[in-house]
Structure 1
């Protein structure tokens, strides 16, 4: 995940935790059956306590106890369904991957591991519970990448249309913060089912118009994954907003609430919370014009022999032999016909081992023998230059925004399909 795993601060990681340290023990009971698994009362109590604490910290008015219980239980059910799906497709997060992820969270919080463990304990969580919830978050992120994100593609025609729209849209240079409510419709909903969802949406919109706090209404009624955050979306550029929201923003002012909007997954209501101008910066990179000689081990050449031959070639070049001619006669790479010339190389174009060695050279210098996943190299830097890649960066960001928008829409639809095809039995409270 783009970095698939995003927990930038300790409190964010804590906010994701599904289990608090054990508190008053209660006789556990099943509150929901989810396919082959169950959700227990203690799990529900624990998550509900956590969500209540989050909402209070944010100053969000709390839903009624019954409404909050229903919302929290639905999220536990969705989490359980996704974890079952991850297990079915073979997604596993081993200890080494988990260690690296936890280490990154500690680094983001500028703590060594001892201080980080103490901070987790000070929040009232056991280290084992913290690690297991981080494992869950990584698992769900990998599942989304496999089942949704990897299948998203942006065509060149879509990119060009978005770039043209950005040039002709005054809002395209701004970032927006919205809050939203989703009332999900079943997959393949009948007209009667759509009418029922519409009635619920009308009731929700009426509450908002009567002055009810939007975040409280979202936490009470929304089926979206961010309902327990008051439906608040992160700051997003205009092109990253859901398309049905972006189309309605023109003419709206801060604080305005949209009418009911329909998408394939259900009905939506959003609030225009805030906007700001996106920073416009010039982007420059340093490119390197380089050439190389590559030798690979084979049945007729051992690794030691490849290194020895390259060392001899390096000495000849440093004694005045022409690098290009040596490359034509000896390199195993396709670039040999061009004297090993690789053209202009941007950061990230080559594997890290090659790039590090290349970056350490001054123009005209020849490296020592360098190993990479492709074999052994001699590298020569010809020259360097600064390049303005602002336009390329703009295209990259627009393509990414379009991909993220498609991904979000597809993810909601995928979640709906998972939920609709799962066996879920919610037990009565007096069960």
Structure 2
């Protein structure tokens, strides 16, 4: 007797086996077809079999063997392999947990677009510095086709999405935690700007006093004047610097300000990219620094608008056209002298702002939907916009004021929250995966 449960997986791509064959098998079971003998057929050796039942899904032996082969290839390049039975159980557990996450992603309606997979494949190819044909050849060496790789990437990206959706919301970072981090030595280091620097040292030839001090300072000033005229910093460093990096054009590379001697960091204060410091003295001689580039600790100034709006939502008793016409009438009332705030309190259907006269406060990038932000950007202070449509309904808005606000502290705190959250992610992820695994029905059938 041929077992359709064991034969079907050989007819489908490995990752699609679980979903498609499960549904087909369920239908066949209900029809009483599974297990029915096929008259005149000899017994056929099983081509595949289930190695784990995971809730309503299954993991097939072919999937496990394929994953095992890939893992063996990866581990061999780094060291010795663990015992085969241990490795087999580890890989099966990985597939079980992956299947649970993919099932959850499906229930949550998550998906990965072909464009996302295309971008990931291209990044992989580019990072390995391989041409298209070389990339395909490399995949073949690893026992993969491009279609198989794309399916693996689809699963991995889905797993990442469901992890981020379920784990990040579990991690709460308090204001006190942010304050403690920013005030710590680590936080100060993290906040410190980073410079790509060039360095010239004009060293003392003697004791650095009297005539030696004067001559050394004069030589440094001569080099500085050359630089002010457009001289090549690297060439002058090779010719005149006594620093350890002189033959590399005086390049110090990227350095955090807190990693530099205080004497150096003080000279960089207030300087911008391309600037050269005047010669400054240390115990070794006179130094000149050039800032090739800088990153971190930038000021973040955000243009903001103080905005009010009136929202009218189309409904079964108010058509889209009627909602639009109602706002046309309200706009005209404002232009004729009516108070926008009073009209918002009487007519707006935005519960969150109507009692405040439609006041939405100061805008922030991404605070409003794109349609709203586009009209807001085009509306001058004191003007009332024409009615416009968003996903929430029809709006008119007015801008009470505009300003450029320094949001550096807000941006820094948000970045610190993201950093602290990412540090706790792996720990929280392990806990969540354990919970997910413990709540699932799993039956393994390793032979």
TM-score normalised to the size of structure 2?
0.52
Matched, 1:37 2:35: no
Give the equivalent residue in structure 2 for 1:140.
159
CA distance in 2, matches of 1:418, 1:107: 33
- 1:170, 1:95 → 2: CA distance? 37
Alignment of 1:373-388 (within 5 A): 373-388=391-406
1:302 maps to: 319
Distance 1:322 1:414, change over 3 A: closer
Gaps of 5+ in 1: 1-17, 20-26, 56-61, 176-276
Select the residue among 101, 115, 129 that pairs with 2:116: 101
- Are 1:93 and 1:138, in contact at CA under 8 Å, matched by a contact in 2? no
Q: Describe the shift of the 1:72–1:351 C-alpha distance in structure 2 as closer, same or farther (beyond 3 A).
A: farther
Match of 1:7 in 2: none
Q: Is the 8 A contact 1:78 1:419 kept in 2?
A: no
Relative contact order higher in (CA < 8 Å, ≥ 6 apart):
1
Q: Give the TM-score, by structure 1 length.
A: 0.54
Report the alpha carbon displacement of residue 307 of structure 1 after superposing the two structures with TM: 0.6
Aligned residue in 1 for 2:289: none
Structure 2: any 5+ residue segments left out of the alignment? 1-13, 16-44, 192-293
- SS at 1:133 equivalent: helix
Distance 1:119 1:342, change over 3 A: farther
Match of 2:417 among 391, 399, 411: 399
C-alpha deviation, 1:392, in angstroms? 1.9
In the TM superposition, what are the counterparts of 1:268-307 in structure 2 within 5 Å? 279-307=296-324
Which structure: larger Rg? 2
Q: 1:80 aligns with which of 84, 95, 99?
A: 95
- What value does the CA root-mean-square deviation take over the aligned residues? 4.4
Q: Tell me how many residue pairs correspond in the alignment.
A: 287
Residues 80-99 of structure 1: CA deviation (Å, up to 9, x unaligned): 11233135546369896433
Alignment of 1:113-152 (within 5 A): 121=136, 124=139, 126-145=145-164, 147-152=166-171
Q: CA deviation at 1:164?
A: 2.5
CA distance in 2, matches of 1:378, 1:354: 9
Q: Distance in 1 between matches of 2:124 and 2:402?
A: 37
Q: Distance in 1 between matches of 2:111 and 2:186?
A: 48
Matched, 1:167 2:183: yes
Q: Secondary structure at the match of 1:67?
A: coil
Of 310-319 and 352-361, deviating more is 310-319
